[in-house]
Structures are given as C-alpha cells and as structure tokens.
C-alpha cells in the first residue's frame, strides 16, 4: 500500500538493501530557507558530509505527488529554483500527494516521511517551536507534536531565538520529548552556542546518543529525540549581538503595532536584514556540523 | 470483544455486508441542539437525503449503555423528547456504557463510534473549537483532539463564530488536521458562508475530497479531515448581522461581568434570542446541505 | 526485547504467573516526597495495605538502569536515603535507562512502567496538573499527557490546590480523560475532601469503578482514568485553612516578585512551612486510604 507513495533514489534503495545507515534531510531549507545558489551548494555539501561519515543521505521532498526519499541533481535544482513548491507540514501531505503537487517538507513532514521509509536519523538546521506571544495566538509549530509521536531523532542546532525558547522547552517537557545536548549542557539557539536554558541531558559521543534513542523506542516510548548540537565556535554569532537584534526588532514591532501572528515573520525579516551575510554563513556552517553528528549517530544506530 | 458494545440497525448491518457507503450522524443535535419537533423532522430528512445520495445513514447514540449504529423511529423520538439524555463526549463513553445510561453523542464521541463501526464519513452541523478567552480558561473542545487522532472525515459548515475561529485554526494546524474547503477558499462560519480565515485547501468535487481522505489514511496519518461546506446562499445569515449580534452579546457579557467559561453559553443564548427563527432555519438548511456532500464523498470513498 | 529492561521482584513475578491482582506504586514520594524515615515506613505500610486488600504491591523505580517492578527492603532504603536519585518522568526514562542511572518515577513514568509490566491500577498521593500562571508559562505536568494515552487507572486524592485545579480539569476534558469521584461528587484537592469543582462521574464501589475502566479499554479508548478518592475525614485539613495558607503564600510571592515557574516551588515550600506536621500526617493518611481503594479495584479488575 505504502509503496505506491514512496519513490526511493537508487542510492537510498541500495543502502536499505545493504542495511547501511541512512540520514534524512529536509527540503524546506532548499526551497524556502536559503537563496540560490547557496541552497543547492549547501544541499550537495551536506549530502557529501553524510557520505564521508559512512551513511547515505536521503533528501526528502514531495514531487508530482510522490514522496521522494533521495533526490537527483535535477530535482534538487528544481526545488531550489521553482516558485511552485508549497511548504509541506503534516496537514499538507495528503492534499499535495493526492493532487500530485510539489512540496518542500518541514521538520514535521520530513519526520513523517523518514519514518515511513524506515529512516531513524534526520539532520536539519533548527526545529520549530512555540512562537513569541503564543500565550495569546496559540501559534505553535506542528514540529512539536511530531516530536511527541514520530520515531525519528532530529539533529539540529536548537531553535531560533525569535521563537519563545522557554515555552518551547515547557511544551516538549509536557509531551515527554527528550532534549539532549551534544557536547553541551546549555540549549543552543541556532546562531549561538547557548541560551539561558539547560538541555535535559548531555551526551558526549554518538554511541551514547544512539543508546538513548534505541532504548526509547525499544521501550515503546514513541516520539522523537532532539539532539541539540551547537553551531561551531568560529561561525557562532555573539549572543549579545543577536539578542540586541531581536530586542531592536521587537521594539520596532511594537512601535508599528505588529502583534500576534505577524511578529515572527517580522522578526525573521529583521534578523536577516540586520545580520546580513553572517546569518547565512552561520546557517550553512551549523547544518554541515549537524550532518557530521547525524551521520555518526546513524552509523552507531545501525550496529 | 467490541461486538458486545455495538448494536447495529438492520439497515446499517445490511449496508456493511453489502459493502455500501455509510454516513454517520450525531445525536447531540437531536437531544440538545434543536427544539421538538424540528429535531425529529430534520433527523429524518437528513437520513433520507443520505439515502437519496446513494449511502446509508447511521445515526449514532448511546441507549441503555449500547452504542447504537443506526436508530429506530422510536429511539429517535426518545432521543428527541427525553430529559434523561446526557451529552456524551470521549470522556463520557466508558461511564455511560458501563452504567447502562443514555447519551447523545457529540462530534468527538460520534467520531469514535463511527470508527469503531468502520464508518469513514460523518455529517454534522459544526465542529467544536477553541472558545473565546481560552487563552486564560483553556476551554478547548475535545472535538479538536479527536480530529487529531480518529480516522473519520467530518463534513460540517465550519465552526460557530461564538468560538474563537482563529485559535481553532491554529490548534488544528499544530495537530496536523487538514481543513478542506468544499467549493470555497474561505472557512465558513456555520451561519455564514465565509469568515476572515482561509481554509488550508479547496476541493471542488467529492472525488478529490475522497482521494485526499484515502491518501491520508493509507499513509498512516491518523486523524480526521474537516470538510468545511458553506451553508447554502439562500439560507445564510449576513456576516455583518451575525458579527453585530456577537459584538452586542460580548459587550453585554462584559457589562454583566460574565467572563471565562460563562461567555460561551451566554453568547449561544444571545444569538438564539437575537436571531430567533432564522438561526434555526439556517441550522436545518446547512445540515441538509452537508448530508448531500457527505453522501457524495462516502460513495466515492467506497469505490 | 522488553524483558531486558524490566526486573520483577519475586513477589510480583509470582503474582503475574498466578494471575493475581497487582497494584503499582511510585517512588517519587519515597525519594522526593517525604522525609526519612517516614518515607520508608509509609512505603512499607502502603504495601501491606495492598496485600491485606488481596492484591500484590509493585513499587516502581529505576535502579542502575533497570526498571524495577517491585523492590526489596534494601532498595527501598536506598531510594529513601540516597541523594543520587533523579526525578524520572516520561522524557527522562530513555536517558536514565541507557546510562544505567537511578530514578524515582513520577506519576507519568510509573504509569508507563506499569503498562509495560501489564499492571492496570496505580496508587499515588496526587496527580500533577496545570500550574497556576500556566496561561503564560505553559507549565503543565507531563502526567496529564500520560493520562491522555497510557492505559492505567490512577487512584489519587485529586490534585494539590497549589496547582490550578480548574485548568487541570479543562485540560483533562479536552484530552478525554474521565475524572471519577470515589464516593464523592466533588473533586478532592489532596489535603481537603473537596474543592469548588465537580468530578465528571461518581462511583460508590470498586466493582463499578472496575467496570468503567474495563469498558474504556475494551472500547479501545486508550488513556488513564483518574479515580479521585478523598482524604479520610479525620485527617483532612480545613478547606478555609489551606485556602488561607495558599492565599497568604500567593500574596507573599507577589510582594517578592516571584512569578511564572517559580511560583509552584515557592507555594510548596510555604504550604510545608505553614502547615508543618499536619500536612505530612495528612499525606500519609490519604496515600494509605488510596491503597485500600486501589487494591479493591485491582481485585475486581482481575475477575
Ligand atoms: Mn504556526
Ligand atoms: Mn469545554
Ligand atoms: Mn513542569
């Protein structure tokens, strides 16, 4: 039944048959997260890093209503340049697939497709979370509910501080999702190596991370594991700088009566504007670093 | 095991054996939603519309602790006139069934019973949602959690605007529930054909709706699908009129220090008082229209 | 697979083989809930009460990474006196087990381990809930999500009124969890026999409670059932007294700018300080009473 929906690349199919470690990658970063041609370059470099780590990359996207598990160079170019790619979260998959449309998968949708394909590790930049002002807007990313129920480990650099990280941690705690620091006691915040929040647990090697993940699922404790891996020191933005950028942006938002659901896109735009090139460089660096860690964990899980 | 709890009408049992399309109907609208005798008349007319559409109606209720899947004329009369019928949501089913009581099933409980009986489509008036002031009261209908997990498509005219429709849409998005507009881009709001909110997707025929629903469940994406079907134009209330009614009611509520959980019943009462006959007529018209659409989708799903 | 994680005591293992009723007990009350030596004495007395009721007690804890289902006297002493015992909720189990650490199980984690061991009834003091100010802090105990999905009946004396009991009831309703009063119409609030809130249903004997629980699970309605059993009259604190204590504490919190997540520990400390010996005596009395009721229900469920 499922087979008719999934379309594996030759590389991934071979890896599955050989029992090799596979690492899922999302496509929102390609279609909506980075400008061209950096999106294509980064996607290819990240795939290569995973190969060098001894695993096989499986970039996931919806193309013509098929769930692609692994994409070709032409498909990557299409995802990176077309304007006809919807952002695909859990709620969007049935529509996009039934009506044969294209979709770039978010963290939530990539987790779903990875689980369908039997892939246990997924590398991304940052997870979605509880938005600032969510106390009144209830704007909470579907990524968090996916982490609560879908069996995929998500290697990321934490969540962006334009989100409310404290509320995000509370939501994950209520839903029983472990947030594991990789070589860190502090929760990283995407552009920065730390935040004011502690991770739940620290692990210092891929083997321990893999043990924790395997134990969770063997116990029947369904849901994801957040592996929070800080951005490499040399590319990290200053915490004071990024905090200042966000505070400036929040102040501007207030002055312009931007509230509720409009705050997040406004903050995203301001951060981009005020940090310019450095934020893109940082984003690329952290994703690559996550790929190194993710491949390592995937290899250990396969043993 | 399950069999001892379920009691099928002869018509539904035959339909199951013959592999015919079946459409579930709820009983709260009968016991608590409409006055007598309009409740009985409407229930019968809606059942007939479903039969004319090529499907078999299965009105669901709890009687003497049995889950009725399809009810007789006498049972309908009893549900429509007795004062001894509890409102039954998810949390109530075990108690009512174990202690052999009577219950009129809400959207949540009807979804549960439909799924137990293998029925995939359910026609109702409107779904529950996030209540106004839920930011502080946490008053959120159990219907939304049911939509997050139970595999039944719910054909409705949206949610009443006495609820907070924006927060309801956020909650459904977080939980991955598709809200599909049937021949509309705008989310209908029960008495009106539209609201300020967009649906997630628009479909224009039963076949596409059925494809989307089937795809969702075949992918293992558990949970419902909201098919939002606007009230027919000739029976729709004016958006300005109903907005004005609600604003008047909200103002009165504030003046009388009615807050939190007391707001919704107050608003319901005021809408009834200020719209009088027209709101009942509208309610009947939209349910009938939902029955037409629901039967069509059920027939397509059965193919 | 599961077997390697679970370590049964001889008594529990024998009970399982003989098909005897078993009642789970948590260990947070031992390690973090009561001072020494009252914690050891109470744990033993509660176990004996369960035996006298015709069931077998299974105190649950994580020791050296094993899930203990039933503990020895030495293990009890260790849990009661060591400083090296983590508080273990759902999110903590994989880490503690994979890294071979010790953990005292909360309501959520005890429910999980009980279900893994096939135990249907769990006796505790009180459940976690929605914290005061959770509208802004989103501080909601993982116990509530566990009640939403894990098939264990939890016999307790309600929730402490330092929590927001009204919001806790709303959250449970949204998630379809029945809150059943045992010989009471009013929700007990731990130290007091009642609160301003009604339970959903009242049952007056173990047999009816067991029927309700069995019916729920046979219908496939996954999740827990709260059996709210009021503290015995002779040990109950006065509602006016405890309300006054909490109001005094809330006032002090405000004067000292204690807000958000810091409110609950502050209130807990103040209640302890202002009620002194009486609150410990009450706590012991209510747990013992819950053990009587829990054993009775477990025996009925086993029939
Ligand atoms: Mn959102
Ligand atoms: Mn409610
Ligand atoms: Mn908490």
Tell me, yes or no, if B90 comes closer than 8 A to chain C by beta carbon: yes
- % chain B with pLDDT above 90: 87
Contact C135 B140 (CB under 8 A): no
- Using alpha carbons only, how large is chain C's radius of gyration in Å? 18
pLDDT at B262 over 90: no
pLDDT at B24 over 90: yes
Q: Which residues contact B117 (CB under 8 A, 6 or more apart)?
A: B6, B8, B12, B16, B22, B24, B58, B60, B67, B69
Task: Please report, in tens digits, the pLDDT of each residue of chain C (303 residues total).
Answer: 788 999 999 999 999 999 999 999 999 999 999 999 999 999 999 999 999 999 999 999 999 999 999 999 999 999 999 999 999 999 999 999 999 999 999 999 999 999 999 999 999 999 999 999 998 999 999 999 999 999 999 999 999 989 999 999 999 999 999 999 999 999 999 999 999 999 999 999 999 999 999 999 999 999 999 999 999 999 999 888 998 999 999 999 999 998 877 888 888 888 888 887 799 999 999 999 999 999 999 999 998
Q: Which ligand is nearest to the CA of C176?
A: 2
Q: Mean pLDDT score of chain B, rounded to an integer?
A: 96
Ligand 2 mean position, distance from CA C191 (Å): 27
Residue B213 is predicted with a pLDDT of 98
Mean local confidence (pLDDT), A90-97: 98
Mean local confidence (pLDDT), B30-50: 97
A159–chain C nearest CA distance, Å = 17
Residue B223 is predicted with a pLDDT of 98
Burial pattern C68-103, b for ≥16 Cβ within 10 A else e, equals bbbbeeebbbbbbeeeebbebbbbbbbbbbbeebbb
pLDDT at B1 over 90: no
Of B176, B215, B219, the CB nearest to A142: B176
Q: Mean pLDDT score of chain A, rounded to an integer?
A: 96
Q: How confident is the model at residue B169 (pLDDT cuts 50, 70, 90)?
A: very high
Catalytic site includes residue B26: yes
Residue A268 is predicted with a pLDDT of 86
Q: Are C296 and C123 in contact (CB under 8 A)?
A: no
Q: Measured between beta carbons, which residues in chain B are less than 8 angstroms from residue A89?
A: 173, 176
Residue A236 is predicted with a pLDDT of 96
Query: What is the number of alpha carbons within 13 Å of residue A21 lying toward its C-beta?
Result: 22
Of A171, A173, A215, the CB nearest to C97: A215
Q: How confident is the model at residue A262 (pLDDT cuts 50, 70, 90)?
A: confident
Among B62, B70, B116, which residue's Cα sits nearest to residue B89?
B62
B221–chain A nearest CA distance, Å = 8
Catalytic site includes residue A26: yes
Say if residue C139 carries a ligand binding annotation.
yes
Residue A194 is predicted with a pLDDT of 95
Mean local confidence (pLDDT), B74-78: 98
Mean local confidence (pLDDT), A88-114: 98
- % chain A with pLDDT above 70: 100
Among B253, B199, B205, which residue's Cα sits nearest to residue B228?
B199
Identify which has the larger pLDDT, C261 or B74. Answer: B74
- Coil/strand/helix, residue B140: strand
> What does the pLDDT look like over A16-35, one tens digit per residue?
999 999 999 999 999 999 99
Tell me, yes or no, if C86 comes closer than 8 A to chain A by beta carbon: no
Say if residue C141 carries a ligand binding annotation.
yes
pLDDT at B30 over 90: yes
Residue C4 is predicted with a pLDDT of 95
pLDDT at B277 over 80: no
Tell me, yes or no, if A205 comes closer than 8 A to chain C by beta carbon: no
CA torsion C172→C178→C184→C186, rounded to 10°? 20
Say if residue B72 carries a ligand binding annotation.
no
Contact C93 A216 (CB under 8 A): yes
Q: How confident is the model at residue A263 (pLDDT cuts 50, 70, 90)?
A: confident
Tell me, yes or no, if B148 comes closer than 8 A to chain C by beta carbon: no
Tell me, yes or no, if A136 comes closer than 8 A to chain C by beta carbon: no
Among B271, B30, B287, which residue's Cα sits nearest to residue B158?
B287
Mean local confidence (pLDDT), A149-153: 98
Contact A219 C5 (CB under 8 A): yes
Q: Which residue has the tokens 């990875």?
A: A114
Tell me, yes or no, if B227 comes closer than 8 A to chain A by beta carbon: no
Residue C109 is predicted with a pLDDT of 98
Least confident of B138-142, B266-270, C73-77: B266-270
Q: CA distances (Å), B18 to each of B53, B56, B152, B296, C105, in order?
A: 16, 11, 20, 18, 52
SS3 content of chain B, % helix, strand, coil (to 5): 50, 15, 30
Contact C116 A219 (CB under 8 A): yes
pTM of the model: 0.97
Tell me, yes or no, if B239 comes closer than 8 A to chain A by beta carbon: no
Contact C91 A178 (CB under 8 A): yes
Q: How confident is the model at residue B130 (pLDDT cuts 50, 70, 90)?
A: very high
Chain C neighbours (≥3 Cβ pairs under 8 A) are A, B
Q: Which residue has the tokens 């709101």?
A: B279
Residue A264 is predicted with a pLDDT of 83
Residue A215 is predicted with a pLDDT of 98
Of A130, A200, A208, the CB nearest to C91: A200
Query: How open is the CA angle A133-A227-A299, to the nearest 5 degrees?
Result: 155
Ligand 2 mean position, distance from CA C173 (Å): 7
Mean local confidence (pLDDT), B165-186: 98
> What does the pLDDT look like over A163-179, one tens digit per residue?
999 999 999 999 999 99
With residue C152 as reference, give the H or E element that holds it. none
| Residue C103, strand partner residues | C62, C86
Q: Measured between beta carbons, which residues in chain B are less than 8 angstroms from residue C180?
A: 95
Q: Which residue of C has its CA nearest to A174?
A: C142
Q: Which residue of C has its CA nearest to A215?
A: C94
Query: What is the number of alpha carbons within 13 Å of residue C94 lying toward its C-beta?
Result: 30
Chain B neighbours (≥3 Cβ pairs under 8 A) are A, C
Q: Measured between beta carbons, which residues in chain B are less than 8 angstroms from residue C179?
A: 91
Tell me, yes or no, if A79 comes closer than 8 A to chain C by beta carbon: no
């Amino acid at each position: 039944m499922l087979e008719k929906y999934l379309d594996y690349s030759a590389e991934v199919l071979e890896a599955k048959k050989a029992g090799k470690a596979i690492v899922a990658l999302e496509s929102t970063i390609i279609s909506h997260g980075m400008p061209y041609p950096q999106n294509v370059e980064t996607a290819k470099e990240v795939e290569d890093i995973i190969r060098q780590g001894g695993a096989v990359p499986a970039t996931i996207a919806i193309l013509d209503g098929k769930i692609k598990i692994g994409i070709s160079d032409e498909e990557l170019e299409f995802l990176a340049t077309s304007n006809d790619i919807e952002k695909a979260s859990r709620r969007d998959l049935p529509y996009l697939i039934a009506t044969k449309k294209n979709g770039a998968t978010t963290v939530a949708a990539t987790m779903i497709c990875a689980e369908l394909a039997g892939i246990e590790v997924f590398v991304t930049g940052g997870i979605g979370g509880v938005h600032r002002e969510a106390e009144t807007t209830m704007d909470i990313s579907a990524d968090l509910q996916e982490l609560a129920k879908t069996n995929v480990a998500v290697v990321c650099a934490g969540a962006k501080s334009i989100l409310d990280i404290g509320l995000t941690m509370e939501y994950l705690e209520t839903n029983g999702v472990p947030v594991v620091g990789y070589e860190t006691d502090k929760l990283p915040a995407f552009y920065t190596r730390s935040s004011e929040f502690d991770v739940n647990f620290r692990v210092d090697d891929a083997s321990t991370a893999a043990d924790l993940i395997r134990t969770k699922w063997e116990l029947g404790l369904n849901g994801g594991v957040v592996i929070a891996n800080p951005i490499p020191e040399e590319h990290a933005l200053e915490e004071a700088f990024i905090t200042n950028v966000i505070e400036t942006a929040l102040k501007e938002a207030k002055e312009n009566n931007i509230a509720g659901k409009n705050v997040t896109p406004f903050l995203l735009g301001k951060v981009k504007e005020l940090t310019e090139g450095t934020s893109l460089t940082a984003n690329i660096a952290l994703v690559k670093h996550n790929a190194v860690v993710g491949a390592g964990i995937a290899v250990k899980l396969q043993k």
